[in-house]
Amino acid sequence: MSSSIGKALAERLDREDPLGAFRERFHIPKRENGEDEIYFCGNSLGLQPKSARRYVEEVLEAWARMGARGHFEGDRPWLPYHEFATEKLARLIGALPSEVAAMNSLTANLHLLMVSFYRPTPERHKILIEAHAFPSDRYAVESQIRFHGFDPDGSLIQAETRQGESIIRMDDLLQLVDREGESIALILWPGVQFYTGQAFALEKIVEAGHRKGCAVGFDLAHAAGNLVLNLHDSKADFAVWCSYKYLNAGPGSVAGCFVHERHARRFDLPRFAGWWGHDKSTRFAMPPRFNPLPGAEGWQLSNPPILSLAPLLASLDLFDAAGMEALRAKSEKLTGYLERLLIERCDDKVAILTPAQPAERGCQLSIRLQDGKPIHEGLMAAGIACDWRGPDVIRLAPVPLYNRFGDVFDVVERLERMLEHA
């Protein structure tokens, strides 16, 4: 193989990496022999920031020491605890602080926001999703359609890729919206497609949808902490994301939602209410009439699980310190390096499904291989954590916060050797 992109290059890129030191701030899972795993599934569950423990212990400590006083006292009282995440989350996704709230889980937030932004009428009752949408999103959307008395058979539009292709063509999508838009109440679209890793130009989808009078919401499960997002400028109506993937906030951690500023005071919109969405100044007077907070906070339901919010604060510190622009710059290099190595060393045995344009992908490359299952098992056995999506796809996600160019090199070298012997 050419030495120009070999091990020496990986070592140089790691030495020159301005973000290299962030790896030290994470727990890297270990193999049986005690060596670090190569962890390429941060798109599934991000690694634990070492500082997460301190944040969680602080909550346990405050609870032990103060009981209910912890709601109001201490360095980070629980009453406004979610607010400690707000500004950093807003920076991370390119929104105003009033447009974001850390709350609930992704699918719960999706339902809550569809209650407000999916308002079907007999003329306009359809929801547009992608044909290969994540199952939870599909279940949520279909159940909302039924909840309103419609039938997914007539009210769900699924955008397909072209025959034999795995990537949605933006022009096809925009034409579909143009053609069918008048019957579409809501477009629900991913920021990054979970299977192929395709990233979408959000503002173009919003523009096309709004031109036809559709509401447009995004599922950013695979985009938050992966892409540089400008949600406010995209003019999206709403967005939701989880925080255990690229956001490294731990299994089942508290999710996020975005509601565009122009809807901040749309108190006329139907919403499912709970006391945490109620005006903070009178929340504890507990008046009988619900008076929603302006902005995304007005969609909260309950007092949040503080122990699950604590690791999110730890993780957001790291994103804030690194900066999403810098992370993305490294990410493009890291993924570009993975792509070059795969093409150079495994080209005849591996097809990359993910778009080749950096603007059309995040950090994940999805590769298709024949008889891939034993290859995946072999990679896992060699201490390379990556994920298998049947029937024939391995997803590799080099994450700029904690993965190295050397990791990328080692993965491709191992893969090449296994393919030779397959």
Ligand X SMILES: *Cc1c(COP(=O)(O)O)cnc(C)c1O
Catalog residues that contact ligand X under the rule CB under 6 A.
Answer: 105-107, 134, 136-137, 190, 194, 219, 221-222, 242
Minimum distance between the CB of residue 30 and ligand X, rounded to whole angstroms?
A: 25
Measured from the CB atom, is 129 or 342 closer to ligand X? 129
Minimum distance between the CB of residue 221 and ligand X, rounded to whole angstroms?
A: 3
User: What is the rounded distance in angstroms from the CA atom of residue 7 to the CA atom of residue 50?
Assistant: 29
- Spell out the residues 6+ positions from residue 416 whose beta carbon is closer than 8 angstroms to its own: 345, 346
Minimum distance between the CB of residue 250 and ligand X, rounded to whole angstroms?
A: 12
Minimum distance between the CB of residue 331 and ligand X, rounded to whole angstroms?
A: 18
Q: Are 124 and 213 in contact (CB under 8 A)?
A: yes
Measured from the CB atom, is 23 or 111 closer to ligand X? 111
347-352: long-range pairs with CB below 8 Å, 24+: 349/419, 349/422, 350/415, 350/419
Count of CA atoms in the C-beta half-sphere (13 A) of 414 = 19
φ and ψ of 135, to 5 deg: -55, -40
Measured from the CB atom, is 107 or 198 closer to ligand X? 107
E-assigned strands of 90-153? Answer: 100-102, 126-130
Measured from the CB atom, is 19 or 353 closer to ligand X? 353
Measured from the CB atom, is 94 or 256 closer to ligand X? 256
Which of 136, 212, 198 lies closest to 161, judged by CA?
Answer: 198
Which of 158, 142, 140, 148 lies closest to 124, judged by CA?
Answer: 148
Torsion, CA 82, CA 85, CA 91, CA 92, rounded to 10: -110
Minimum distance between the CB of residue 137 and ligand X, rounded to whole angstroms?
A: 5
Q: Where are the alpha helices (DSSP H) in 288-383?
A: 306-322, 324-346, 372-381
Minimum distance between the CB of residue 252 and ligand X, rounded to whole angstroms?
A: 8
Measured from the CB atom, is 219 or 297 closer to ligand X? 219
